[in-house]
Every structure is written in C-alpha cells, then in structure tokens.
Structure 1
C-alpha cells in the first residue's frame, strides 16, 4: 500500500446522524429531569405536586420526542 492510498473508514452513521442522536439523548435527559422530584421527606404528608402538569403531561411528551429523535437519527440516510 502506498502512502497516497489511505484506507477509507466507513462509519455506520454520518455527521448529521450523530448530531440528531446527541439532540435526542439531550432531549431524553431533559424529559427525565422534568419528571423527577416531587417527593416528600415526611411519609405521612402527601404532596400534590407529583400530579402537576409538568410531571404528568410535559415530561412524558418530551421523553417520547427524545425517543422519536433517536429513532430518526438511526433511520436517516447520510
């Protein structure tokens, strides 16, 4: 093999796929962070904040969007 004949590396994904994958993972992290919290230190006290809009509606929607972005990143052509 000559010095001018460099072996080419074929990656499974292109640059845009990795960008979409990173955005999807960041969206997942954001969704799970939105879902966390709302616990009570005292087990005898019920905290209504666990049923807030953020934890019941927004966070699962963000998580599903994150999984959708990851799915898109995997299936997208270079």
Structure 2
C-alpha cells in the first residue's frame, strides 16, 4: 500500500526572481545612501550629505525593495492543474 504525497514547493521560480529583484533594489538604495566623505576632514560638505538623492530617493528605493520582498514571500505559486 503506497500513498503518493504530492507537495508543492513553498516558493516558485517567480518568487525567487522577485526576491532577487527586491534585494537588488534595496542594495541600490543602500549604495545611493552611502558616501558623503569629504577630501578635507575639517570641512563639512553640507550639499553632499543632505543631497536629495540621499535624503529622498535612497529611502524610497529601500522601502520599495522591502515591499517587493514582502510581495514575493506572500505570493502563492501557480498550481499546475
């Protein structure tokens, strides 16, 4: 008496691709937020540290990447019927 136990994988290929895209968007946001080092340590580069890229764009990209990750985790894989 053999019983076949059909289990579906938790994540499909599409989920992993979405997770990779989300990770890349987060990494891009972190990269854009980094830096701000001045040539002279005694000079504070106000326009570099408080640029719109570091203050606005980078955090938005990080939040979008996190939302992509959450969507990728909760997305159900398509079942082959």
User: TM-score when scaled to structure 1?
Assistant: 0.83
Deviation per CA, 1:2-53: give whole Å up to 9, x if none. xxxxx97743201110010010001011000010111124321001211000
Aligned residues: 72
Backbone CA RMSD of aligned residues: 1.7
- TM-score of the two chains, using structure 2 as the length reference: 0.80
Q: Give structure 1 stretches of 5+ with no counterpart.
A: 1-6
Moved over 6 A (4+): none
Give unmatched runs, 5+ long, in structure 2.
none
